[in-house]
A = this chain, B = another copy of it.
Amino acid sequence: MSVALVFQLLDYAGVFFFAFSGGMIAARKSLDPFGAAIVGAAAGMGGGTLRDILLGQLPVYWVDAPEYLAIAVAGALTGYYGSTLLSTGTGARRAALAWADAVGLSVFCVLGAQAGLAVGAHWAIAILTGVMTAAFGGLVRDVLVNDVPLVLREEIYALAALAGAAAYVAALALALPAGASAVGAALLAFAIRAAAMRFGWTLPSIGRID
């Protein structure tokens, strides 16, 4: 499998799973199917759109690649109508949403870091573009439906994305192959996020002070 194909498949997966999370949250908020498509498309395509804008890769990627819109809408509607199938109640639906979100996060942190490196950015900036690409879609999704963004509620969230982006940048600096590095870094980010979700890991914070 060529490196380009690996990146392509990761990208499609990220768009689909984030859009799926958007469709699920739209169902929770009783939006109609069209609203679900909007929230899902914003979740799935928001991160890459911000990445392209910040890095000056315009028009943004989906203008010349309409399949992304199709994938996003498919993911959104799958999440929206799939919500009704998870009949075991709130817990199962919230878990499905969080796991789909974790897949998108893990994939996009690597793709965002790769995009930063591709325009010659400093490694610290490539990590930043990775985190922003990973977090922005979910952020827009949550702001649209008036939730406090997951990225600010969940303590090991942006941090998982940061670990994935940093691992990818470090792997390339060590001259490891790009495709394997991308998959490995995405799996690392996913493992950290999964462990945080499963074991309730948190960061120490100062208490509420005001």
Binding site for B on A (CB under 8 A): 27-35, 38-39, 41, 49, 53-56, 58-60, 62-64, 66, 69-70, 80-81, 83-84, 90, 93-94, 116, 119, 121-122, 124-125, 128-129, 135, 139, 143-146, 148-149, 151-152, 155, 158-159, 162, 202-210
Which residue in chain B gives the minimum CB-CB distance to A89? B210
Q: How far is the CB of A28 from chain B (nearest CB, A)?
A: 4
- Min distance, Cβ A42 to any Cβ of chain B, angstroms: 10
Least distance between A53 CB and chain B CB atoms (Å): 6
What is the interface of chain A mostly: helix, strand, loop, or mixed? helix
Return chain B residues, CB-CB under 8 Å to A69.
124-125, 128
Residues of B near A207 (CB, < 8 A) are 30
Number of copies: 3
Residues in B neighbouring A145, C-beta threshold 8 A: 148, 152
Assess A33 versus B128: contact at CB under 8 Å? Given A121-B59, A144-B149.
no
B152–A39 CB distance below 8 A:
yes
Q: Which residues of B contact A29 (CB under 8 A)?
A: 152, 208
A93 to B206 CA separation, bound complex (whole angstroms): 15
User: Which chain B residue shows the least CB distance to A139?
Assistant: B144
The answer on a CB contact under 8 Å between A152 and B205 is no
| Cβ–Cβ contact B159 & A59, under 8 A | no
Instruction: Report yes or no: A152 in contact with B209, Cβ–Cβ below 8 A.
Output: no
Closest beta carbon of chain B to A155's beta carbon, Å: 5
Q: State whether A209 touches B54 (Cβ < 8 A).
A: no
Whether A116 pairs with B206 at a CB distance below 8 angstroms is no
